Amino acid sequence: MREVAVELPNAYSFPMSSPLGAARRIVVKVGSALLVDRESGRINRGWLETLVADLLLLRARGQQVILVSSGAIALGRRELKLATGALRLEESQAAAAVGQIRLAHAYKEILEDQGVTVAQVLLTLEDSERRRRYLNARATLEALLALGALPVINENDTVATAEIRYGDNDRLAARVAQMTGADCLVLLSDVEGLFTADPHGDPGAQFIETVRELTPQIEAMAGSSRSETGSGGMATKILAAKIAMAAGCHLCIAAGQPQHPVRRIEEGARCTWFVPSSTPAAARKQWIAGTLKPAGAIVIDAGALKALQEGKSLLPAGVVATRGRFDRGDTVSIVGPDGYEFARGICAYSDGDAARILGRRSSEIERLLGFRGRDEMIHRDDLAIVRAPGAAMAETSAAAQAIP
Ligand code: GLU
């Protein structure tokens, strides 16, 4: 990772004990209500600078950071002098087109002042729901992080129509966390966290600091509260928590209005933590292993089997044959020389392309396919072993099956 020049405040360092301190990759989401001043309709620049300073501190101690930022519609509607109240779909799309430029410009100015390259990534629902596009979006984000850039993500509101849009950045941020295997997601908004009841209406409402399981009771507590400027409320935050927890990612709901909102969380400010029961890597492998019906199969040789047992990726060189039809991004069975399913994984190639490069060296892929694909047929992060090789079928997982 590129070194980041950042001035650490005197004798200040984050305590490392919170999930935020322990995380390798952190997604931070900021809501429109924080970013855009309600009176002037402009970006809260002074506040934003303190948020950016926090993010740079995280990076300076070796953590990777992705920012999901709302605010495009709120900024654009002001510029276009659209009336207050609900906007028609095409009006919010127009507002997003105008506002997103301003938003990106503000991030560029603030971050580049600090020597950090900012990257704008606009996603649609389909980018996270369709396997093929999901893989592309994930690879792009990985590349940006590896190159030291700070990705700033928003929904591509200008092209997303009602049926195919998230509409709220809480869930978008959770999908980004899931897609990138982040271990911590921070939702900064105008609420402090989760209460047992609406704290404005019920003086007996109690604050909840930690949630380990999303029970129907917890979901009921979210109600349908909405913030005034953004689209999310507690309900979308709970949906985000569901996605994050299933992906092994910690999620924190915290008040974002004060300056240095991320630093405050580590300093012990009140917030609600949702704690998952597994890690992102384990959750991903579980999900791959649990695929009900793999699209096809890849048969491997003994050398590849040994490599996979040692935790390595599957290279085209170790593949002997493909079975069935599958697309890039589909989950396939990996069948050992004994003819039984040994592992499952997300394949980086379609069955046709896989057949053309099997048995070949990765350096030959470009010549054989006419494009530079991934070196690995199935990357080790995308692979889950479902059976010990040579294990009797009776002892194998129910998922294991003989492939003729
Ligand atoms: N994508 C919307 C925007 O930039 C915000 C969605 C939300 O409020 O969560 O204005």
Pair type for strands 383-385 and 296-300? unpaired
Pair type for strands 210-211 and 271-274? parallel
Task: List, in order, residues 6 or more apart from 193 with CB less than 8 Å away.
Answer: 207, 208, 209, 253, 254, 255, 270, 271, 272
Res 90 pLDDT > 50: yes
Question: What local confidence, expressed as pLDDT, does residue 395 receive?
Answer: 36
If you take atom 5 of ligand 1, which residue's CA is the nearest one?
70
pLDDT band at 223 (very low <50, low <70, confident <90, very high): low
Tell me the backbone φ, ψ of residue 31, rounded to 5 degrees: -85, 160
DSSP code of residue 362:
G
Question: What local confidence, expressed as pLDDT, does residue 200 receive?
Answer: 78
Mean predicted confidence (pLDDT) in 312-339: 94
Sheet holding 250-255, edge to edge: 118-123, 150-155, 64-69, 25-30, 184-189, 250-255, 271-274, 210-211
| H-helix segments, 223-350 | 234-246, 261-266, 280-289, 302-309
Question: What is the C-alpha separation between 189 and 290, in angstroms, rounded?
Answer: 35
pLDDT digits (tens, 9 = 90+) for 326-351: 998 889 999 999 999 999 999 999 99
Q: Pick from 289, 294, 314, 296: which is nearest to 304 by CA?
A: 314
Beta-bridged to residue 63, according to DSSP, are: none
Question: What local confidence, expressed as pLDDT, does residue 164 receive?
Answer: 65
Q: Does the beta carbon of 350 lie inside 6 Å of ligand 1?
A: no
Cβ contact 269:255 at 8 Å: yes
Q: Does the beta carbon of 76 lie inside 6 Å of ligand 1?
A: no
Out of 13-17, 33-37, 111-115, 259-263, pick the least confident.
13-17
The sign of the dihedral angle between the CA atoms of 286, 290, 294, 298 is positive
Share of the chain above pLDDT 90, in %: 63
For tokens 């629902």, name the residue: 125
Question: What is the C-alpha separation between 373 and 208, in angstroms, rounded?
Answer: 47
Q: Name residue 233's amino acid.
A: G
Question: What local confidence, expressed as pLDDT, does residue 13 receive?
Answer: 41
∠ CA(382), CA(280), CA(230), 5° rounding? 115
Question: What is the C-alpha separation between 325 and 147, in angstroms, rounded?
Answer: 35
CA 186 to chain centre: 12
What does the buried/exposed string (b/e) look like for 258-278 if buried means 16 or more CB atoms within 10 Å of the residue's CB?
eebbbbbbbeebebbbbebee
pLDDT band at 360 (very low <50, low <70, confident <90, very high): very high
Question: What is the C-alpha separation between 72 and 164, in angstroms, rounded?
Answer: 18
Cβ contact 19:250 at 8 Å: yes
pLDDT digits (tens, 9 = 90+) for 138-179: 889 999 999 999 999 999 988 876 666 777 899 999 999 999
Question: What local confidence, expressed as pLDDT, does residue 391 receive?
Answer: 59
Question: What local confidence, expressed as pLDDT, does residue 361 receive?
Answer: 93
For a pocket test of ligand 1, which of 35, 43, 78, 154 has the largest count of ligand atoms closer than 8 A to its C-beta?
A: 154
pTM of the prediction?
Answer: 0.83
SS3 label, residue 187: strand
Question: What is the C-alpha separation between 316 and 360, in angstroms, rounded?
Answer: 6
pLDDT, greater one: 226 or 335: 335
pLDDT, greater one: 398 or 126: 126
Q: Ligand 1: which atom is nearest the Cα of residue 231? A: 8
How far, in Å, from the CA of 232 to the mean position of ligand 1? 8
Pair type for strands 118-123 and 150-155? parallel
Q: Ligand 1: which atom is nearest the Cα of residue 32? A: 8
Question: What is the C-alpha separation between 354 and 356, in angstroms, rounded?
Answer: 5
pLDDT band at 352 (very low <50, low <70, confident <90, very high): very high
Going from the N-terminus, what domains does the chain have, and what CATH number goes with each? 18-277 (3.40.1160.10), 285-402 (2.30.130.10)
Tell me the backbone φ, ψ of residue 138, rounded to 5 degrees: -65, -45
If you take atom 8 of ligand 1, which residue's CA is the nearest one?
230
Q: Does the beta carbon of 155 lie inside 6 Å of ligand 1?
A: yes
Q: Where are the beta strands (DSSP E) in 39-136?
A: 64-69, 118-123
- The mean of the pLDDT values for the chain is 86
Tell me the backbone φ, ψ of residue 189, rounded to 5 degrees: -150, -165
Highest mean pLDDT among 91-100, 228-237, 379-388: 91-100
For tokens 């101690």, name the residue: 61
H-helix or E-strand spanning residue 35: helix 32-35
Share of the chain above pLDDT 70, in %: 87
Question: What local confidence, expressed as pLDDT, does residue 324 receive?
Answer: 96
How far, in Å, from the CA of 169 to the mean position of ligand 1? 6
